């Protein structure tokens, strides 16, 4: 009889310890919920700013490439003008019409080259103007997103500073509570918490229903739960069930 009492007490203690651990971890969850999506929002903004800065760098590089193209075309125009001057001078010393016409064709070719370079340079300048507009928009977006990031970071830091001490204290309490519970039960508890959307692995029986999935519990099982003679899990969601008075104790 004494052995039976000891066994009952042991199971009851395990259930009480599991439920106490659940209350501690639920409070940790509550604190983290207060932070909401802020850490993810901060990370998302940081990633977006990195992407925008990469785009700004790329546009700047593209502008430099086009500017180099314009500079090269200016040099080519000067070379063509020099060639034209040389061919015109040579025309003054030709011996026949064929040589004159040959030089005239060279001059005509260089003049066409100049026109082509001028046309391409104008197109390149328009391209630069468009890229500079895109660059301005990208930089303005970076500035706007950086402002959002600074705001979100300040908000997150304020929440963290308010809750960090409480969270650290609760985490220590959770670790301490786990040391007083069998490893197999802790493993099962943590697996249930991971799979549960609300992080509840141990729940009370509320109005004859599971406090996790709200499915009805048969009367006989309710009696077994109240007596705490064995660990009983919900047949629907697998959560560990404890009587409501266990929460009130």
> Does pLDDT of 17 surpass 70?
yes
Looking at residue 171, what is its pLDDT?
94
Report strand pairing: 209-210 vs 202-206.
Answer: antiparallel
Please report the domains of the chain, with CATH numbers, ordered by start residue: 2-35+182-248 (1.10.287.1490), 38-163 (1.10.287)
CB burial readout 79-111, b (16+ within 10 A) else e: ebeebbeebeeebeeeeeeeeeeebeebbeebe
Q: Who has greater pLDDT, 110 or 247?
A: 110
Q: pLDDT (tens digit, 9 = 90+) per residue, 38-68? A: 888 999 999 999 999 999 999 999 999 999 9
Q: What is the mean pLDDT of the chain?
A: 90
Distance, in Å, from the CA atom of 21 to the CA atom of 204, rounded to the nearest integer, reads 14
- Residue corresponding to tokens 């066409």: 112
> Does pLDDT of 151 surpass 50?
yes
Share of the chain above pLDDT 90, in %: 73
Beta bridge partners of 240: 202, 233
Q: pLDDT (tens digit, 9 = 90+) per residue, 93-118? A: 888 999 999 999 999 999 999 999 99
> Does pLDDT of 163 surpass 60?
yes
As to burial, measured by CB atoms within 10 angstroms (0-12 exposed, 13-18 middle, 19+ buried), residue 9 is exposed
Q: Is the pTM of this model over 0.95?
A: no
> Does pLDDT of 3 surpass 70?
no
Looking at residue 7, what is its pLDDT?
36
């Amino acid at each position: 009889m004494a052995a039976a009492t000891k066994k009952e007490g042991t199971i009851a203690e395990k259930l009480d310890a599991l439920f106490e651990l659940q209350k501690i971890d639920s409070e940790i969850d509550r604190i983290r919920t207060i932070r909401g999506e802020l850490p993810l929002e901060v990370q998302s903004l940081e990633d977006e700013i990195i992407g925008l800065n990469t785009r700004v760098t790329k546009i700047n590089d593209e502008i430099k490439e086009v500017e180099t193209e314009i500079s090269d075309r200016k040099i080519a125009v000067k070379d063509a003008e020099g060639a034209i001057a040389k061919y015109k001078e040579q025309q003054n010393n030709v011996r026949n019409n064929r040589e004159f016409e040959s030089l005239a064709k060279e001059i005509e070719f260089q003049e066409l080259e100049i026109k082509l370079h001028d046309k391409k340079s104008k197109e390149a300048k328009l391209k630069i103007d468009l890229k500079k507009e895109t660059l301005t928009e990208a930089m303005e977006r970076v500035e706007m997103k950086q402002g959002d990031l600074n705001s979100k970071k300040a908000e997150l830091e304020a929440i963290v500073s308010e809750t960090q001490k409480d969270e650290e204290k609760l985490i220590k309490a959770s670790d301490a509570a786990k040391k007083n519970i069998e490893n197999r039960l802790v493993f099962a508890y943590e697996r249930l918490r991971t799979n549960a959307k609300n992080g509840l692995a141990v729940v009370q029986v509320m109005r004859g229903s599971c406090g996790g999935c709200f499915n009805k519990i048969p009367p006989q099982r309710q009696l077994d739960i109240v007596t705490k003679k064995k660990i009983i899990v919900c047949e629907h969601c697998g959560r560990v069930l404890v009587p409501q008075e266990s929460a009130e104790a």
